[in-house]
Amino acid sequence: MPIILPPITRRQFVKGSFALGGTAMMAPCALAAAADSERVGLDPNRVALLADTHISADPDLVYPGTKWSGSLVKEGEHESVHIVKCLVQSAKSVIALNPRPAHLIVNGDCTFGRGTEVEYKQFLKLVKPIRAAGITIHVTIGNHDN
């Protein structure tokens, strides 16, 4: 059964942001994104897709990755991904689209581990700017989700 996170109003976004500890530094960026959503149109025929975000309870987790055949990474170098930074950049890229997609699908594996409450709270915090931009988020369940 899919989970749908509807867009939130600027008031809901600001209220929730200030309720969370440590968001004071992020609030100006989030408020700018919310205000900007009123200027950039949403295209109901446009959909963004994210998959396997694998958000951990640890916001500093760097996933070591693996070297695969055909990889551009040279021998001795290591492919790794800072998971939170990757989702933050992806969110910024989606929000920057003009017109914006009216919907974003997160196709499974929102969480890194076993889908703990802490992991989902971290995921929700990271996708909040997307919702503040007026984009409805649809989430499907993957094998790492609970």
- 122-139 pLDDT tens trace: 999 999 999 999 999 999
**Residue 101 identity:** P
Percent of the chain topping pLDDT 70: 66
Query: What domain range is 129 assigned to?
Result: 3-60+78-140
6-55 residue pLDDT tens: 776 666 655 555 444 443 444 445 455 555 555 789 999 999 999 999 99
The predicted structure's pLDDT at residue 80: 80
Question: Two tokens at 37?
Answer: 């959503």
User: Is residue 13 in some structural domain?
Assistant: yes
More confident residue, 102 or 73: 102
**CB contact set of 54 (below 8 Å; sequence gap of 6+):** 63, 83, 109, 110, 111, 112, 144
User: Is residue 70 in some structural domain?
Assistant: no
Asked if residues 126 and 91 have their Cβ atoms less than 8 Å apart, the reply is: yes
Distance in angstroms (rounded) separating the CA atoms of residues 8 and 98? 19
Q: How many domains does the chain have?
A: 1
User: Is residue 145 in some structural domain?
Assistant: no
We report the CATH number of the domain holding residue 56 as: 3.60.21
Between the alpha carbon of residue 97 and those of residues 51, 127, 130, the distances in Å are 18, 16, 11
- Backbone phi and psi for residue 104, each to the nearest 5 degrees, phi listed first: -130, 130
Distance in angstroms (rounded) separating the CA atoms of residues 71 and 79? 9
User: Is residue 35 in some structural domain?
Assistant: yes
User: Is residue 66 in some structural domain?
Assistant: no
49-74 residue pLDDT tens: 999 999 999 999 888 776 666 767 67
The predicted structure's pLDDT at residue 68: 66
How high is the mean pLDDT of the chain? 80
